[in-house]
Amino acid sequence: MQTLCQVKDPTDKGAWKDKGAGNLCIKCKEGVDKGTKESKPTILVRNDVGKLLLNALLYAGIKTSAQKNALVAIFHSSEDSNENVTPRTFLIRTKTAEARDKLATAIQEYAPSS
């Protein structure tokens, strides 16, 4: 799924930083049922050259908020050159509202149940 990924910096009120466009996929550990903590579901967004724009584990109780053709969620990820994982608000823009709804459903389906 082709998406546009933006991140909102909590220290800079109201400003979205464009991370770029890329292909989104949700990966799980092989041989483990999806929707479990053992499956370690991870959402990945890579640009055309292969650079990671978003690499974050899905967690139990993740909430997504639908906007026009976009989905807003809080993912725990690290900065490009930093190893510290912190919660950040991401806006993932899709081409259509149907693609947005499909992505929201997939995130809820793959996220571990409490």
Q: Which domain CATH number covers 65? A: 2.30.29.30
pLDDT of residue 108: 92
Domain count, the chain: 1
Stretches in the chain below the pLDDT threshold 50: none
Q: What is the CA radius of gyration of the chain?
A: 14
**Which residue range forms the structural domain that includes residue 91?**
2-110
> 47: phi > 0 → left, psi -120 to 50 → alpha, else beta; which?
beta
pLDDT on residue 104 = 93
Q: What is the pLDDT of residue 105?
A: 93
Return the exposure string of 79-108: e unless at least 16 CB atoms fall within 10 Å of the residue's CB, then b: eeeeeeeeebebbbbbeeeebbeebbebbe
Amino acid 90 reads F
- pLDDT given for residue 35 in this prediction: 81
Q: What is the pTM of this model?
A: 0.81
